[in-house]
Structure 1
Amino acid sequence: MKKIIFTLLIFASVLLSQHAVAQGVLQSTDLRTVNVDNLSDSDIAKVKAQLASNNMTIDQAQTALLAKGLSASEFVKLKNRLGSSANNAITTIPQLQETPSENNSGIRTQTAFSNVKVKDTENALVFGSELFDNPTLNFAPDLQLATPINYVLGPGDELQVSVYGVQLYNTTINVSAEGKIAIDAVGQLYVSGMTIEAATQKIKNAIANIYSTVASGQSQVSVSLGKIRTVKVTIIGGKQPGNYSVSSLASVYNALHLAGGPSKNGSYRNIELIRNNQVIKYIDIYDFLVKGDQSANVNLKDNDVIRIPAYTKRVTVEGEVKRPGIFELKKGETFSTLLSFASGFSESAYIASVNVTQKTSKEFKVQDISKAEFATYIPQAGDIFKVNRILNRFENRITIVGAVFRPETYAFTEGMRVSDLIAKADGLKEDAYNKRARILRITDNLTAEVINVNLEKALSGNLEADIVLNKEDVLTVYSILDFTEDFKITIDGEIKKPGVYNFYQGLSLNDLLIQAGGLSGSASKRVEIARMIVSEDIDNSNPNKAELFNIEITPSNNEQAKNFVLSPFDVINIRKMAVYEKPQVVSVVGAVNYEGKYVLASKLAKVADLIERAGGLTTQANSSGVKIKRPIQAKQIEAIENIDLNLGVNDSIQKNIEKRLKDDVKYAIIPVDWEAIVKNPLSSTNVRLVPGDIIEVATFNEGVKVAGNVLLTSEIPYVKGKGFNYYLDAVGGLDAKAWKKKAYIIYPNGKAAITHSFLFFKSYPLVTPGSQIIIPEKPETTKLNTTEVVSIGSVIASLALLIVTAFK
């Protein structure tokens, strides 16, 4: 019985809890046990009524329901049972209406204020003028910073009011000319003259009185500045004085920049900010320029006046300071203060004293200010301070050069002697010449004198020789190597590295052979050494200019048994073996039985010998097509370069010849009459070969090639008995630029034949198989114009008239 009663109690409590949830789902603080499936339709209707009474949709209530423990799956079920959430809100109290905003992005805006910058050429040297000439420095307020809590609202400001949380609301409200704002369902609020912080609290309280979710903390209110109002300020004494509309966040420096800064005679140190007819701030721009202090850069208010009075005192600083220019000084400021404005002396400044040019009532006067007076001297208006450079001299320099271990400049001390300076330089080197040293000294009348020193005595303690030095003295210690002649020796001939080498005492031929890389393989046993003749007396009976030594060496050994000792300026020549010539080759190509390269076994080898070694001509060979291609030698080009054709400096004919030989021709062609050689081996066409020759045997070709200025470049089959004109006709004849009388034929063996003319008759060369007919182009000629023809006619007529007159 007890179990039944307990079960009924549990069931009743569940039903009551579900009913309670249905009655106050938004007011409940714990929704973890809610099961939406157990809610009846009447329960769902009650939830809808609760949402309507709170002017909410189920989506707007999502965050609050989940925070109270309702699971996400149960929320989805609840939303599905409630149906579409778009029409669930039933307005039971005046609803907030969103006001369209031109600034929906939420970014604070401000009307842009600018002014044309005018370069101050008259005041360019005045310290601080560049601050207002630079258009990139405008001191404009940063609109993206957080709204200042002490910002005072006024007519023209724009507020962005947002309600977020259970209720969502955004609107943009302008502060009216009467200083009020109007919020839907709330009414009008007076905010002009209030800080943004105080106005925010007032707006929150007003909205909370109407909307319960704000009062309960379920919704929050945010107030921020949108578009910022402008204020009017007046600037007097600027380069561009007048009334300016500036941002309500603008500062004094921003307004000064718009006005171009102080005028020509305006002060940079005593600018006044006047508000309500009282000076509330004195602005010293130097505090910002020198220290970066912006404490005087206060925000402006409507109807503020910035007055720039005339300066009281300006001075000029020239010369060796880091920032020369014109500076404004206040009463009581000293030269030390002025020096800080100029960023101090430069590295090369003379700081012992400063020269100042002052103005008296009648004239100028010059005064020197010592370093001790810098902190007490009060500059006068119009002073011109000139900071000079230090002298290009040393007060305690002394120098040592030459054969010491540390030649350098050292500090001079009174009483320093030669031995002291040498000790500072770590002593003499091994090659030092200790009989004499030299002191170069500048005397009092600025002339130079030389003092000789006996180093040996000076370093042995002789005070008379150990001369006392003066500042700026230069001590030179000589080296014995300075007195030694630089001897050379020359080796040439069959040595691997011929050239000029340094001579050393005791140098032998074996030493030099090793130094020069050893003998080459072609070195003979003969060596000739030429030595200069040295004598105090002239021997007219001896015409020899050098003494010759002929010695024999072992070519296969660099170390000779007899080690010949050399002398300065000897010239050694290693002779070449009488017979030492590397095998050299020629090539045979074309229609022979064995093409390839062949060594010239004999100095007298001829064309027929090599063709015979190559197996003779093949059956396809053209016996009329044998020729030799001989490479153009460098000495042939050099010979042409050395010939003066007297063509003038700017004439390019000779240069073109040289270029053609080097780059284009490369080979000289030697025609060979093979049939004549076969009949008579002693024929002159059986030429002797030289290394590098290429014997080329052409394959028989029955065609005749026609090229040049013809209508069709082609190869025409050879027809026995047909002449020159037959092949020209076969290619369509000549073109308009053809020069037929200069036509020529190139035969297979490289020989060429030209067309001959006698009176009106032309003799064309014989055409053979494999030959090539070339028709060149006519050279261009300049035709006479009408004026030239008339001029020539006039000259001829005049001559004719003279002749007729002469014979009358």
Structure 2
Amino acid sequence: MKNILVVILLITLFSSFLISAQSVKDQMIKKKASELGISEDELRKKAGEMGYDISGASDAEAAKTVVPVTVKQEVTAPQKSISNYKVPEFSGRSDLNAFGYSIFNYSPSTFEPGLNVPVPKNYVIGPGDEIVISLWGETQMVKNFIVSKEGTIYLQEAGMVNVIGLTLEELKSKLFKVLSKTYASLKSKKSNERTFMEVTTGALRTVKVFCLGEIVRPGGYSLPSLSTAFTALYYSGGPKISGSLRSVKVIRDGAAVAVLDLYEYLSSGVKSNDISLQEGDVVYVERVGKRVALGGSVFKPAIYELKTNEKFNDLINYAGGINFNTYTDRVSVTRVIPFDQRDLYEKNIIKIDLNFTTKEQLLESNFEFQDGDVVSLFSVNSLMENAVAITGAVKKPGSYELTTGMRISDLVLKADSLKEEVFVEQAVLYRTLPTLKKEMFTFNLQKALANDPAHNLKLENEDEVQIFVHERFFPTRSVQIYGQVNNPGTFSRMEGMTLKDLITIAGGFTFTASLANVELSRLDTTSIEKYYNTFNLKFDEDYWTSETGEDFLLQDFDRVSIKSDPKKKSSDVIKISGEVTYPGSYAILEEGERITNFIERAGGFLNTAYLPGIYVKRTNNYKTGNVGNQLKMLADSMSLAGGATIEVSYYDRVFLSQFSNRIPLEWEEIEDDKNSIYNLRLQPGDEIVVPDDDGVIYISGEVGVESIVPYKEGEDLDYYITQAGGYTSNSSEGRVVVMLPNGKKWESGGLFSSDDDILSGSKIFVPTEVSVAFNHWEVIRDITSIIASAALLVLTIENIAK
């Protein structure tokens, strides 16, 4: 079973290999047919007629005849060489960079040789190159050879063959002659060929080159053999700012074999002198030559390097030409006076103006620059030659062409006429004077449109017409209505708006509104002392159909007050909860209803009612803030020792908050005297709470165990504290708070009287003791200082008295 699996695996692998090899053979047949100028089918037919099967080459050998592959050499890409490209000598134009240097900070692939392109036929073979010789047809062979250091390869059929210095095309011709002596079927005449030959390259060698001169990282570099001078410049970081882009030499065997001008490549993409490098070549960057700064209205403002014979037109070409808005009449040149002329001037810098009459004259100028010149091309000004503008209440405001004889009415028509809200009584024309100051003319727009020559003014260049809206002169004012309407507020006063209209848009009267006394206040503009005059009006229930107020037109800033009818009161309620026969909500029938009235209406108390615990719950709107926050502020101001704080969170949130909205009642006193102060007149929202008897006492705070202790009649505070485990070490025994079930605070009797009873349902809270730091030494120091000052004062007075 194991052997069968092995056989199946080998068959699978071999089949895959045959498929791959067949693909390679098809490519070789296609290529040869193209060379012979015949189709692939004709090539196969001709080979068959001659008794050869061109598809019968060894699959293993055919697989080796893959299209040549160039192996990428491992060369570390450089880091960015220069962070900026400013030229210190041109500090006056810090906005300009030196042209071209930034290209050496691009991606590493910028100047790398192509890896997926055929090796050129003029490629020169050297030591380390891999040569692949492929024969197919009658003779089948694929062999790889590495060129030795001496520049030879060894062929079994012909011995040592010298290949160094040959181009790929010359190598193929030489090997064809050598091998045709051994293989008779390898004929030079294509009609008699029975064996076919192809010579390609495999892995290519690396070449050692040197980058020297004004370069960022000078030194030796191992590069792919297809590398050019551009490749070497990239890996060495490119020229320094002090290095030239116009004169980069390739030196071979002591002589310059090429001089590169990078401006050709940067300006037009041409790399005419970018030759392939050979072993030992030196790429030398010379010092930069004459530099000229070009700024202003050109496509590529920068600092350029010029050759000796280059003129103004060359500089413009390197900058990509001038912009469409360039001012061509004058070009400004700022020049540092040359060394040999400085004795003729007092200063060091001169200004030169170049004047031209046409664009062509500027572009063809042969003005010669000096090193360090700064050239400035200006833009034309933004002044319009034939433009007028219109703004405001027209449908298409904007700028328009000024035509001959154009007047205001013509401009309005060009602006698609007037808007509906236009104010036609007056408009303004602004005119720009030669001094650029403005002159203003007012005119009647309606008369201008009627072609009145006194108002339909003739327009001039840069005139601006402003049309106003009616709202500008007659702004919409407001009126106010407040009080008993459904939507009180401020409303815009519209033309013809009456008081009835205002009440309608305010949602009408509320149920409690008084219709018999509607007050309107109107601004008094006749007196200094008096602000408003008032009018009192009467309305019917169906005021929208009534004639009352129909003709009372409103004026700007009128204020309307709708008062409440004292006879229309809402039915306010109170609530009774707890141990009564009919708990629930009850309407206040009349003013002055007291607690006893509501208890009677609720059917009286149940047998379970705990009368000492009765209280009224009322929302406390007079609380002055969170008790805890107030106590914390007090603690902070006292600078407590050791960072101590008053424990107020539980005391505030849980304990005191239970009683802050309770009004304690004394029911026994109410029963004895219906006029007692405890028989309160109730307010809307009040709640009478009639609890049952809990039969317990609640104890919390600084005790051994916070507890609920059964109530025992006649027992005092100490008894209940003992039941809860006694006081803790942090307790403040003298500040214990006891709140009775009705919300009244329990008070002890003191030294000379007995304590009142603590009632069932009471709550006891023991607060934490707060100790304040007391620095005795500071007090002694202060007292000593005061005594010394007083003694000095006494002695001074005695001396004066003598």
2: CA distance between counterparts of 1:59 and 1:554?
108
Asked if the contact 1:232–1:304 (Cα under 8 Å) also holds between the matched residues in 2, the reply is yes
Q: 1:774 aligns with which of 759, 765, 772?
A: 765
2: CA distance between counterparts of 1:535 and 1:263?
84
Aligned residue for 1:393? 383
What is the identity, as a one-letter code, of the residue corresponding to 2:75?
A
Is it true that 1:438 corresponds to 2:410 in the alignment?
A: no
Is it true that 1:304 corresponds to 2:278 in the alignment?
A: no
Aligned residue for 1:523? 513
Is it true that 1:338 corresponds to 2:329 in the alignment?
A: no
Aligned residue for 2:641? none
Q: Compute the displacement of 1:260 (Å).
A: 3.6
SS of equivalent to 1:421: helix
Aligned residue for 1:374? 362
| Closer/same/farther in 2, CA of residues 613 and 398 from structure 1, 3 Å limit | same
2: CA distance between counterparts of 1:59 and 1:488?
95
1: CA distance between counterparts of 2:240 and 2:575?
97
| Closer/same/farther in 2, CA of residues 158 and 113 from structure 1, 3 Å limit | farther
2: CA distance between counterparts of 1:169 and 1:755?
123
Aligned residue for 1:469? 459
| Closer/same/farther in 2, CA of residues 454 and 484 from structure 1, 3 Å limit | closer
Aligned residue for 2:3? none
SS of equivalent to 2:465: strand
What is the identity, as a one-letter code, of the residue corresponding to 1:776?
P
SS of equivalent to 2:503: helix
1:457-606 correspondence to structure 2 within 5 Å: 458-463=448-453, 465-478=455-468, 481-484=471-474, 486-530=476-520, 532=522, 546-562=532-548, 563-569=550-556, 570-606=558-594
2: CA distance between counterparts of 1:444 and 1:800?
86
1: CA distance between counterparts of 2:428 and 2:74?
83
| Closer/same/farther in 2, CA of residues 217 and 171 from structure 1, 3 Å limit | same
SS of equivalent to 1:728: helix
| Closer/same/farther in 2, CA of residues 716 and 375 from structure 1, 3 Å limit | same
Aligned residue for 1:695? 688
What is the identity, as a one-letter code, of the residue corresponding to 1:687?
L
Aligned residue for 2:91? none
| Closer/same/farther in 2, CA of residues 294 and 601 from structure 1, 3 Å limit | farther
Q: Compute the displacement of 1:682 (Å).
A: 3.4
Q: Compute the displacement of 1:189 (Å).
A: 6.1
2: CA distance between counterparts of 1:803 and 1:374?
97
| Closer/same/farther in 2, CA of residues 190 and 608 from structure 1, 3 Å limit | farther
Aligned residue for 2:706? 713
Query: CA offsets, 1:687-740, max 9 Å, x none?
Result: 222122222232312221211111211112222222111111222211122111
Aligned residue for 1:410? 400
Which one is further off, 429-438 or 257-266? 429-438
Q: 1:675 aligns with which of 668, 671, 682?
A: 668
What is the identity, as a one-letter code, of the residue corresponding to 1:290?
S
Asked if the contact 1:586–1:597 (Cα under 8 Å) also holds between the matched residues in 2, the reply is yes
Asked if the contact 2:694–2:761 (Cα under 8 Å) also holds between the matched residues in 1, the reply is yes
2: CA distance between counterparts of 1:584 and 1:129?
89
| Closer/same/farther in 2, CA of residues 456 and 221 from structure 1, 3 Å limit | closer
Asked if the contact 1:533–1:545 (Cα under 8 Å) also holds between the matched residues in 2, the reply is yes
Asked if the contact 2:132–2:144 (Cα under 8 Å) also holds between the matched residues in 1, the reply is yes
Aligned residue for 1:746? 739
TM-score normalised according to structure 1 size? 0.71
2: CA distance between counterparts of 1:63 and 1:670?
103
What is the identity, as a one-letter code, of the residue corresponding to 1:566?
L
What is the identity, as a one-letter code, of the residue corresponding to 1:720?
E
| Closer/same/farther in 2, CA of residues 188 and 482 from structure 1, 3 Å limit | same
| Closer/same/farther in 2, CA of residues 698 and 183 from structure 1, 3 Å limit | farther
| Closer/same/farther in 2, CA of residues 492 and 242 from structure 1, 3 Å limit | closer
Asked if the contact 2:578–2:691 (Cα under 8 Å) also holds between the matched residues in 1, the reply is yes
2: CA distance between counterparts of 1:792 and 1:460?
96
1:261-272 correspondence to structure 2 within 5 Å: 261-272=238-249
2: CA distance between counterparts of 1:664 and 1:343?
84
Aligned residue for 1:36? none
Q: Compute the displacement of 1:345 (Å).
A: 4.7
Aligned residue for 2:618? 630
What is the identity, as a one-letter code, of the residue corresponding to 1:112?
V
| Closer/same/farther in 2, CA of residues 596 and 310 from structure 1, 3 Å limit | same
Query: CA offsets, 1:186-207, max 9 Å, x none?
Result: 9876554455677789999999
1: CA distance between counterparts of 2:170 and 2:593?
122
| Closer/same/farther in 2, CA of residues 351 and 510 from structure 1, 3 Å limit | farther
Query: CA offsets, 1:233-287, max 9 Å, x none?
Result: 4544545555544332222112122344335554323433344566544422123
| Closer/same/farther in 2, CA of residues 790 and 616 from structure 1, 3 Å limit | same
| Closer/same/farther in 2, CA of residues 113 and 742 from structure 1, 3 Å limit | closer
Asked if the contact 1:631–1:666 (Cα under 8 Å) also holds between the matched residues in 2, the reply is no
What is the identity, as a one-letter code, of the residue corresponding to 1:366?
I
Q: Compute the displacement of 1:356 (Å).
A: 2.6
Identity %: 27
| Closer/same/farther in 2, CA of residues 64 and 486 from structure 1, 3 Å limit | closer
SS of equivalent to 1:715: strand
1:119-130 correspondence to structure 2 within 5 Å: 119=82, 122=87, 125-130=97-102
Is it true that 1:329 corresponds to 2:292 in the alignment?
A: no
- Structure scoring higher RCO (CA < 8 A, sep ≥ 6) equals 2
2: CA distance between counterparts of 1:143 and 1:62?
27
Aligned residue for 1:72? none
What is the identity, as a one-letter code, of the residue corresponding to 1:766?
D
Give the CA RMSD over aligned residues: 5.1
| Closer/same/farther in 2, CA of residues 118 and 726 from structure 1, 3 Å limit | same
Asked if the contact 2:242–2:287 (Cα under 8 Å) also holds between the matched residues in 1, the reply is yes
Which one is further off, 293-302 or 433-442? 433-442
1: CA distance between counterparts of 2:247 and 2:685?
99
Asked if the contact 2:72–2:224 (Cα under 8 Å) also holds between the matched residues in 1, the reply is no
What is the identity, as a one-letter code, of the residue corresponding to 2:688?
I
1: CA distance between counterparts of 2:596 and 2:625?
31
1: CA distance between counterparts of 2:562 and 2:151?
116
TM-score normalised according to structure 2 size? 0.72
Q: 2:71 aligns with which of 102, 108, 127?
A: 108
Is it true that 1:319 corresponds to 2:296 in the alignment?
A: yes
1: CA distance between counterparts of 2:716 and 2:602?
36
Asked if the contact 2:429–2:464 (Cα under 8 Å) also holds between the matched residues in 1, the reply is yes
Asked if the contact 2:98–2:241 (Cα under 8 Å) also holds between the matched residues in 1, the reply is no
| Closer/same/farther in 2, CA of residues 198 and 675 from structure 1, 3 Å limit | farther
2: CA distance between counterparts of 1:278 and 1:272?
10
What is the identity, as a one-letter code, of the residue corresponding to 1:745?
V
Q: Compute the displacement of 1:604 (Å).
A: 2.9
Which segments of 5 or more consecutive residues in structure 1 lack a partner in the other structure? 1-55, 69-96, 99-105, 641-646
Aligned residue for 1:132? 104
Asked if the contact 1:625–1:748 (Cα under 8 Å) also holds between the matched residues in 2, the reply is yes
2: CA distance between counterparts of 1:433 and 1:59?
94
Asked if the contact 2:312–2:369 (Cα under 8 Å) also holds between the matched residues in 1, the reply is no
SS of equivalent to 1:574: strand
| Closer/same/farther in 2, CA of residues 128 and 137 from structure 1, 3 Å limit | farther
Is it true that 1:257 corresponds to 2:245 in the alignment?
A: no
| Closer/same/farther in 2, CA of residues 796 and 497 from structure 1, 3 Å limit | closer
Aligned residue for 1:618? 606
| Closer/same/farther in 2, CA of residues 399 and 623 from structure 1, 3 Å limit | same
Which one is further off, 568-577 or 194-203? 194-203
| Closer/same/farther in 2, CA of residues 724 and 141 from structure 1, 3 Å limit | same
Q: Compute the displacement of 1:302 (Å).
A: 1.8
Q: Compute the displacement of 1:464 (Å).
A: 5.3
Asked if the contact 1:204–1:221 (Cα under 8 Å) also holds between the matched residues in 2, the reply is no
Is it true that 1:732 corresponds to 2:732 in the alignment?
A: no
